[in-house]
Amino acid sequence: MDSIPEALAKTGRVCASVNVASSKSGINMDAVRRMGEVVKAAAELTADRDGLGCAKLVVFCNAPEDNPFMAGAFHGVGEGESCLNVGVSGPGVVKAALESHKGAGFDELADVIKKTAFKITRMGQLVGMEAAKRLGVPFGILDLSLAPTPAVGDSVARILEEMGLEAAGTHGTTAALAMLTDMVKKGGVMASTHVGGFSGAFIPVSEDEGMVAAVRSGSISIDKLEAMTAVCSVGLDMIALPGDTSAATISAIIADEMAIGMVNNKTTAVRVIPVPGKKAGDWAEFGGLLGGAPIMAVNPARSDAFISRGGRIPAPIHSFRN
């Protein structure tokens, strides 16, 4: 781990992911403590770019081995010698489909999302199989995940609002996201036997103009985002924090997210950026598809004594029975 911050700072092409917890082994709290320090160091080494190094670093619980999405993409040891894994997105397509069903019941909304996900997945599989054929490698998996971009019209938050919420983050958001994620998964499975990776919906803040708007309006907070990670595809993603956020607080944020993944037998992750020299309410700019975001406030109460204990938080009994 000592070389990770330096590598992230030296080149924009390096990404890193570290798995520190699983539903069978529990949470390695020594690794969680160290990753808080690594995130802090990566931010300081790229202070001139608003801590951009942290945007290339993600901490996982139950990391999938067939993930084609950066920054956590990797070809796991359980995979073949070589294969082509494909990531497909399309939140704008789903939102457009829902726009013609205003006032519809949840059964109808679910069906629209599922059918739209089916079409996107089917197209992705056809393209992926042709690409694999031309490259002369086996076709691996297709990951249909609604991954937003900063462009207007390409937002997961706007899908949730199209479902009837005034703003992402208000009461009902977690339920809406749960249905969206579930229907995307079901539509994908109907369309392809190669579905893998995350498959669902991502909720990165800086990469989603609707999420940015919700942060600015005060509709969404880190606590609400954490609740939403219990039902989305991954976890706390592309969240800009005040530059004076301590390594221990970052470790505590990671620990909370790892606990959600461990107990619920799902993949969760943390990609946060403590932006050097900036405070809550300021703006951080990461550029390109990474976008930019307002700095979000963190709880001022400290977690240092908890993080410094070290050792392992054991997995629940139900986890290792599976």
- Residues 280-312: pLDDT tens digits? 999 999 999 899 999 999 999 999 999 999 899
Q: What is the mean pLDDT of residues 262-273?
A: 95
Cβ–Cβ < 8 Å for 171, 154? no
pLDDT for 262 equals 96
CA distance 267 to 245: 25
For residue 294, the cross-strand partners are: 283
Whether this prediction's pTM lies above 0.85 is answered by yes
Asked if 145 and 205 count as a contact pair (C-beta separation under 8 A), the reply is no
Contacts of residue 231, defined as CB under 8 A and 6 or more positions apart, other chains included, come to 174, 177, 178, 181
3-state secondary structure of 54: helix
Q: What is the pLDDT of residues 195-223, one digit of tens each?
A: 777 778 889 999 999 999 999 999 999 99
Amino acid at 167: A
